[in-house]
């Protein structure tokens, strides 16, 4: 082989080696991209992306409890009477569907310093301490305006209410009795927060003729100033379940009383409780 042939052969050999090396470099460059793929697939379902919805949804349940108090206060549609959970609350809702426990007796009953239409010092004179203080101020305020009031009946025990209701049933029948008297356990008088009032002469005490009197008009205009409401207002019988009783006032505290009076609400409406029709 001459020198020219040897030179040509050397060049071809060099080209062959160079071509083989360049092909070998392509594979490693491709394999990293392939090995890089798994991290991407691992990263797509990253745990950090899953928890993000849960923190967003977690605060939502906090809005649910705000609605539960109003719905939990709604009695069963069957009309069954349920026992209230906090009978000692100043704003407890007691009506034909919400009863006090039969064993409940307020622990802070006192004798308010106000006149009554009877002389005996019995339980009918008693009220819970906060209500007693408020009724004293109410009577004093009425006196300043030339309106002289007397108490008719305040607290009643379960036993007293039971006896009273049975007497009314014997007199007028159960259906009619329920329009003006409460089944034992469901009377506001048992809370120690309610009182029936009348004029100092004792006329029309707990009677329909009290409506329209100067005493009744004064009460309607001023009871909220002292934390009371007319519990069974005119035109609300289908809601409260009782006929209009301008003499029956209930202590709920000044703030609540003013709000209820300003908005013309009964306690049933204030608490979004279902209407009482019987």
- Residues with catalytic roles: 245
Classify strands 194-199 and 228-232 as parallel, antiparallel or unpaired.
Answer: unpaired
Strand 98-99 with 82-83, pairing: parallel
Q: Which residue stretches of the chain are H helix?
A: 3-43, 53-57, 64-72, 129-144, 158-172, 174-177, 214-222, 237-240, 254-262, 267-270
How far CA 251 is from CA of 127, 167, 194, 267, 274, in Å, comes to 10, 27, 6, 11, 22
CA distance 141 to 147: 8
Check if the beta carbon of residue 113 is closer than 8 Å to that of residue 129. no
CA 55/CA 45 separation, integer angstroms: 17
Distance CA(252)–CA(91), nearest Å, equals: 5
> Contact, 215 vs 150, CB < 8 A?
no
For residues 74, 79, 82, 84, the Cα torsion angle rounded to the nearest 10 degrees is 50
HEC profile of 128-190: EHHHHHHHHHHHHHHHHCCCCEEEEECCCCHHHHHHHHHHHHHHHCHHHHCCCCCCCCCCHHH
């Amino acid at each position: 082989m001459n020198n020219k042939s040897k030179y040509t052969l050397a060049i071809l050999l060099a080209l062959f080696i160079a071509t083989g090396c360049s092909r070998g470099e392509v594979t490693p460059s491709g394999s990293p991209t392939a090995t890089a793929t798994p991290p991407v697939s691992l990263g797509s379902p990253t745990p950090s992306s899953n928890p993000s919805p849960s923190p967003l949804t977690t605060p939502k349940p906090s809005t649910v409890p705000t609605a539960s108090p109003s719905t939990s206060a709604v009695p069963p549609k069957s009309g069954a009477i349920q026992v209230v959970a906090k009978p000692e609350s100043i704003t407890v809702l007691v009506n034909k569907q919400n009863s006090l426990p039969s064993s409940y007796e307020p622990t802070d009953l006192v004798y308010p310093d106000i006149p009554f239409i009877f002389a005996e010092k019995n339980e009918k004179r008693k009220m819970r301490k906060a209500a007693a203080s408020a009724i004293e101020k109410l009577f004093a305020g009425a006196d300043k305006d030339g309106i002289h009031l007397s108490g008719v009946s305040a607290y009643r025990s379960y036993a007293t209410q039971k006896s009273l209701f049975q007497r009314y049933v014997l007199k007028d029948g159960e259906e009619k009795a329920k329009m003006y008297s409460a089944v034992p356990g469901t009377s506001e008088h048992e809370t120690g927060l309610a009182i029936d009032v009348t004029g100092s002469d004792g006329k029309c005490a707990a009677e329909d003729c009290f409506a329209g009197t100067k005493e009744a008009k004064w009460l309607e205009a001023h009871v909220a100033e002292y934390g009371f409401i007319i519990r069974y207002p005119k035109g609300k019988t289908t809601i409260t379940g009782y006929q209009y009783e301008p003499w029956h006032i209930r202590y709920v505290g000044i703030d609540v009383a003013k709000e209820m009076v300003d908005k013309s609400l009964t306690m049933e409406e204030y608490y979004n409780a279902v209407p009482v029709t019987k």
